[in-house]
């Protein structure tokens, strides 16, 4: 299987052309779209989506991830073997949370495994899709280019402990339903937590959206992160919050 994650959207031909390139090299490929709705140039958003989806990708999957504001620059193209899967994408931190100390990482610069003409604006088509397809066909990762031992590390968002013991958490993503997803997990929470966002204070956690009976609530979402939600509505719209908003967490 080859899994694709990009910020390309679906209104243009970019995703379709990448798939055509993959199938031209590896006709038997099974292609899964993780998402193409990462916000444009949002490397952090792409890394979060990879982190959330990685545990569900079968061993041996080739993941081609393209959120690449530096396309055409001197940033490297990477291919990696880590966690029982292969990872292909730009060296801008997008892949870094997947690359543990035992990862094999190379610069994918062997022209044999790229398209003959490489555009300076569409490496998803000309570099990353071909590299992923050749890995799926069984080309050894070592043939793609020289091994590297360092790459761009993306800082992981984490809540900040304040001197008074409260936590300053942050909205790191807003999903399609308007749920505010925080850089906060259950293990970070104090007993009986209280969440303050703008003029709203939420006491405790609910287990399901429905338990909130329509009002703003806090719960542990499917990613394992804390979410602020409004059942049958959008927390982002109701609370006027977006990525980067601060949520203060304390013991009620």
User: Domain check: are 74 and 128 in the same one?
Assistant: yes
Range of the domain at 125: 2-148
| pLDDT tens-digit map of 115-140 | 999 999 999 999 999 999 999 999 99
Structural domain ending residue among the three candidates 148, 180, 203: 148
To the question of pTM greater than 0.85 for the whole model, the response is yes
- Asked if residue 220 is part of any domain, the answer here is yes
Count structural domains, the chain: 2
Helix/strand/coil (H, E, C) string of the chain? CEEEEECCCCCCCHHHHHHHHHHHHCCCCCEEEEECCCCCCCHHHHHHHHHHHHHHCCCCCEEEEECCCCCCCCCCEEEEEECCEEEEEECCCCCHHHCCCCCEEEECCCHHHCCCCCCCCCHHHHHHHHHHHHHHHCCCHHHHCCEECCCCCCCCCCCEECCCCCEEEEEEEECCCCCEEEEEEHHHCCCCEEEEECCEEEECCCCCHHHHCCCCEEEECCCCEEEEECCCCCHHHHHCCCCCCEEEEEEC
pLDDT at site 19: 98
- Asked if residue 154 is part of any domain, the answer here is no
User: Domain check: are 115 and 205 in the same one?
Assistant: no
Q: Domain of 25: which CATH number?
A: 3.40.50.10790
pLDDT at site 215: 85
Q: Which residues of the chain have pLDDT under 50?
A: none
- Asked if residue 155 is part of any domain, the answer here is no
- Asked if residue 26 is part of any domain, the answer here is yes
- Asked if residue 182 is part of any domain, the answer here is yes
Give the chain's mean pLDDT: 96
């Amino acid at each position: 299987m080859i899994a694709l994650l990009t910020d390309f959207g679906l209104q243009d031909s970019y995703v379709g052309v990448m798939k055509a390139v993959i199938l031209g090299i590896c006709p038997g490929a099974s292609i899964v779209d993780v998402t193409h709705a990462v916000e444009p140039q949002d490397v952090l958003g792409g890394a979060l989506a990879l982190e959330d989806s990685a545990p569900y990708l079968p061993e041996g999957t080739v993941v081609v991830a393209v959120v690449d504001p530096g396309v055409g620059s001197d940033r490297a193209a990477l291919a990696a073997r880590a966690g029982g899967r292969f990872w292909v994408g730009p060296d801008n931190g997008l892949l870094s949370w997947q690359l543990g100390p035992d990862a094999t990482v190379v610069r994918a610069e062997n022209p044999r495994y790229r398209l003959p003409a490489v555009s300076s604006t569409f490496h998803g088509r000309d570099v990353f899709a071909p590299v992923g397809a050749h890995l799926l066909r069984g080309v050894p990762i070592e043939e793609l280019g020289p091994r590297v031992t360092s790459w761009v590390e993306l800082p992981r968002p984490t809540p900040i402990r304040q001197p008074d013991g409260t936590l300053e958490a942050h909205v790191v993503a807003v999903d399609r339903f308007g749920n505010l997803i925080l850089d906060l997990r259950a293990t970070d929470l104090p007993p009986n937590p209280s969440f303050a966002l703008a003029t709203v204070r939420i006491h405790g956690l609910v287990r399901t959206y429905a338990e909130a009976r329509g009002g703003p609530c806090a719960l542990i979402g499917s990613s394992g992160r804390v979410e602020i939600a409004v059942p049958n509505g959008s927390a982002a719209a109701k609370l006027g919050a977006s990525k980067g908003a601060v949520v203060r967490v304390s013991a009620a």
